[in-house]
Structure 1
């Protein structure tokens, strides 16, 4: 399975009332749409998009899907903040019929997942807001091969 990580785009600052309802800023919307254009331009759009239920991730996934002409994203509780790599891999097995899956979520979860799958040392990967990381995952094990890592400045 090819796994594409899209970290949510630039969102509102933290609020005293909580983190769940933070919305994307205009820059975050542009990041999501540009990521879709970039992947479409190289024929690497996902077959399915899964997203954290937090507003900023949901909006990122929705704008990505809208720009790419894909079906609506599916919102998955396991992608919420605090995602565990082993849980993510186990849940992703339920989508093994898809050759290319995108997940939209948060830090430090995505960096931790990439490090875990690649066998990289802690702190060696950083997935910035609005960036894309592509991994070829071996579903039976804890292994992946890095296909690409595109920081937001290169997306446009």
Structure 2
């Protein structure tokens, strides 16, 4: 039995010098990316046992907008997703998941790309607003999806 870890990188945000990092908000494009990601995941008929998000404003808002389409969960703010998120943290979040269950985590790079690499050996270009899916069985991980924002738009039916 394999669990799945789905990672959604926050959408495009304000420039780094606009505000302190934790307070940076999504741009209009970032909001659209977040909504499209949620609609695409729903169109793929993915259901999640839980949705976890970084407390940083841009990630939290991405999670909220994506969950509107998923119609499932209120995202759970999880401080470990703010910085230095690692494989051990991902495995901890998966502990409460039923066999063959999946979770969605919303956060940041370079942490997400590193987690995908550490679990699967795949080097990925994790775009803002992009999604990766990893199937975990024991200590093995397999990259099962890597979707860029433009692919998520197509799946979601965004012109």
TM beyond 0.5: yes
Q: Is the 8 A contact 2:18 2:24 kept in 1?
A: no
1:123-149, Cα deviation, whole Å (9 max, x unpaired): x222110001111112x42x2111111
1:65-123, Cα deviation, whole Å (9 max, x unpaired): 1222122100111111221222332x223332371100000000000000000034xxx
- Pairing 1:129–2:128 present: yes
State the Cα distance separating 1:152 from its structure 2 match.
0.9
Q: 1:151 aligns to what? A: 148
- Pairing 1:46–2:53 present: no
- Give distance in 2, aligned partners of 1:10 and 1:17: 14
- Give distance in 2, aligned partners of 1:125 and 1:116: 11
- Give distance in 1, aligned partners of 2:126 and 2:67: 20
Q: Is the 8 A contact 1:78 1:88 kept in 2?
A: no
The alignment partner of 1:33 has SS state of helix
State the Cα distance separating 1:42 from its structure 2 match.
1.7
Q: 2:157 aligns to what? A: none
Contiguous gaps of at least 5 residues in structure 1 = none
Q: TM-score, normalised by structure 1?
A: 0.88
State the Cα distance separating 1:16 from its structure 2 match.
6.4
Q: 1:64 aligns to what? A: 66
Pairing of 1:1-156 with structure 2 (within 5 A): 1-15=3-17, 18-89=20-91, 91-97=92-98, 99-120=101-122, 124-138=123-137, 140-141=138-139, 143-156=140-153
Contiguous gaps of at least 5 residues in structure 2 = 154-159
Q: TM-score, normalised by structure 2?
A: 0.87
The alignment partner of 1:50 has SS state of strand
Runs of 4+ with >4 A deviation: none
Q: How many residues align?
A: 150
